[in-house]
Structures are given as C-alpha cells and as structure tokens.
A = this chain, B = another copy of it.
Amino acid sequence: MLQSRLFPETKKEAPRDAVSINHKLLVRAGFIDQLMAGSWTLLPMGQRVVSKVNNIIREELNKIGCQEILMPLLHPKNIWNETGRWDSAREVMYQFEDSRGREYALSFTHEEIFLDLTRKFVRSYQDLPIALYHFSTKFRNEPRARSGILRGREFLMKDLYSIHRDENDFWSFYELVKGAYSEIFRRIGFNFRIIEAGGGVFTQNKTHEFQVISDGGEDLIYYCNSCDWGQNQEIFDGKVGDVCPKCGKGEIVSSKSIEVGNIFPFGTYYSELMRIYFTDSDGSKKPPFFGSYGIGTTRIIGAWAEVSHDDKGIIWSRAIAPFDVHLLELGHGGSTRKKAQDVYKKLTKLGVDVLWDDRDLSAGEKFADSDLIGIPIRLVVSDGKNDLEYKERESEVTHRLTFEGLINMFDGK
C-alpha cells in the first residue's frame, strides 16, 4: 500500500490526556482513534493487526475442533434472568428498555446466550461435546475507562464456550484450550504466565488467566521464579520471597501484568440454572459440564505496545505486524521511484505485504515515522545507490542488499 494514501497521517504529539504507553503510541502511530472514553475506532493499521491476531486464534481453535459462529449483541432480559445475572451483574451490564417497553442487555459476555442456543439442539450424549466461538463486541459499564485500549467500555473479544458429557471430558478439553491459548500467545510473541485467579461475576470456582508481564498492567500477580506456579493477587495469601508451594524450591516474586486471556470452569452450575439436560447412554438425564474461554483481541494490541516498544515507537512481531515490510523511498530521482516500484511490485507478487513510503518528505521524517509505526523490516532505496538498505526494527544493524539478494530473502516465504 502507498503510504501517501494510508489513513491517517501519524501525529507528532500524543493526546494530552494520554497517560499509558499504548494510548500514546497507538494513537500517534495511527492505529486507533478515540470516539469517547473507553471507546475506540480501529484505524486501517489497527484493523490489520487485530485481523492477524484473529486469524492466529481461528487457526489454533479450529485445530482443537472448535467451530466459529456469531451471536447477537442485544439480549432479551428473560434469558439473563434465568441465571440471576440480570440483577447480579447489573453494575457491569448496559441495560435498557426500548420504545415498546421491552428490556434488553448489551452483551458483556455470552454464557447465557450460548446455553440458550445449545439447549435447542442437545438431546443425547451423542450431541456432545459442543465447542463454539465467535469474535464479537463486548460492552462493559466500567466506572473508569482507562489505560488506553486496555480497559474499554466497548471492546473486541474472542469468546469460546463448550459443553461436555462429563467432568473428565470437560477437563481434557479445558487442557486442550490451555494448550491452544499458549500456542496463540507464543505465536504472537508474548512472554506470558498462566496463573490461578478468582471468577468475578462469572464463577465461584478458581479460573486461569493468561497474563503478560508488564509495568503498564492493572493486575498484580505472584509467581514462582523456578516453576509454572502463579496466582492473581485477589486469591494470593502469601508474600514475596515465600517458597513456592508447588515445586518447593523456587521463590515467589511479583509483577504487574496485563490479562490477555482467561478460561473459566463452571461445572454444571449454569446448565442446571438454565435447565439443559441431555440423555446419557444409561437413559439418565444430566446437565452438561460447561466452560468459557476468552481472549481480549483489541486488548492484545494495547498489551503488545506496552511490552514491545522503545523511545522511538512500537516494535511489532512479524506475526501481528500491520505490514511485513516498510519500504522507504528517499530522494527525488526518477530512478529511485523506479527502483522502489520494482521492489514493491516484486515483493507484493511474492505475497509480502509492503507499506511503501512514497511521500514527499525528508529522510528524517520518514525514518521517524517508520520507527514510530514499527513494521519489523525496513528497506531503504535512495538516490545514487543501486543496492538497498535492510534493517530490522528491533536491531540497530543495517545491511546492504542487492535487488536479487532481497528477492532471495523473501522467495519461498
């Protein structure tokens, strides 16, 4: 894509009210724009990142047999009344009445809606398990919307729901999801921990959270410096320096962190409240075991900016970068334009997604924008030079490359 056409231009200054790093960097670089407190538009580059994140999630969930659907956002009161959450989650739900006096809630989550859907179809144990997910909007009436895109009143989430014949089948699926989530966050490039946590308005059970260690986070977690044990502060009752209760040798350390995913075991609590029963092979009626599993997809782009940046801008991983290559054309020679065009065409043909800075700006301005946006690979073509300069965003080292050398590098990508 030509950068002269990309919407919008980058900004020299961060918004005055921006405190968090992700707010400052993502707004300046043109990934997101604020409509009102807690509500953000994904601009073209932000949309590209979220779409790459979504594709990674989709691939890993499909591998473990999940199916993609899309559930509505406007929900009738009666379904939320079945579990009592119309009242118990009232603080976080947007609830309203339409002009004909019908009452609705906006989706703050979809457990009840998923169960209402599946109870229409589940008759026998042979209909189980069912694991359905969607990418959709969540609305939460947060008292304070803050931390840039990390905590919004409207945001995007991938949520997965599953029901199972028995507890064994449930827990093996729960472990499959844990594995799939770990693979998703590994592919994105996060340094994360899986920790135990409480269930909020969702469950009395312990749940698991996927936490990215970050000073910009709102969570505080305690974990072992030697094994995989960890807990959110809300359920932790020890102190830093204690011996780890799991491995018995590591020490407990603590850190601020950002929750990017969570998995909730509900047992048969919701199934019974919503009266879903299936006939098991022995003819008995049983409620299925139920779990839900979320990943905050817009939050991920905020979390990434928090943990991967320097004082010049963002540093995207290849897996979720808005473009693969940033091609800077420096100087005004006709041969430079021609060279840039050749590189652009050839790489595009090889399936490489290139942002070509064709704007009439100084080298300094182009380099600054390139560092701010943070595409993993920067190529420079300039007047009077036949070869190109290659630099990775996370490194200070530049290399000279011939056109042929460049093509070899990307061929077979």
Residues of A near any B CB (own CB < 8 A): 5-9, 33, 35-36, 39-44, 46-48, 50, 65, 67-76, 91, 94, 96-99, 104, 106, 113, 116-117, 120-121, 127, 130, 132, 134, 137, 139, 141, 153-154, 156
Find the B residue at minimum CB distance from A143.
Answer: B100
- Inter-chain contact B65/A42, CB cutoff 8 Å: no
User: How many whole Å from A287's CB to the nearest CB in chain B?
Assistant: 19
- Inter-chain contact B71/A41, CB cutoff 8 Å: yes
Which chain B residues border A42 with CB–CB below 8 Å?
A: 69-70
- Inter-chain contact B7/A40, CB cutoff 8 Å: no
Which chain B residues border A113 with CB–CB below 8 Å?
A: 35, 41
Which chain B residues border A47 with CB–CB below 8 Å?
A: 68-70, 134
Given contacts A9-B121, A121-B8, A73 and B41 within 8 Å (CB-CB)? no
A106 to B94, alpha carbons, bound, how many Å?
11
A354 to B42, alpha carbons, bound, how many Å?
34
Which chain B residues border A8 with CB–CB below 8 Å?
A: 120-121
Find the B residue at minimum CB distance from A123.
Answer: B9
Which chain B residues border A68 with CB–CB below 8 Å?
A: 44, 47-48
Which chain B residues border A67 with CB–CB below 8 Å?
A: 5-7, 44
- Inter-chain contact B5/A74, CB cutoff 8 Å: no
- Inter-chain contact B76/A36, CB cutoff 8 Å: yes
- Inter-chain contact A74/B153, CB cutoff 8 Å: yes
A97 to B154, alpha carbons, bound, how many Å?
15
12 contacts between A and B (CB under 8 A): A7-B130, A7-B132, A9-B127, A35-B75, A41-B70, A43-B69, A44-B67, A50-B70, A73-B73, A74-B94, A74-B154, A137-B137
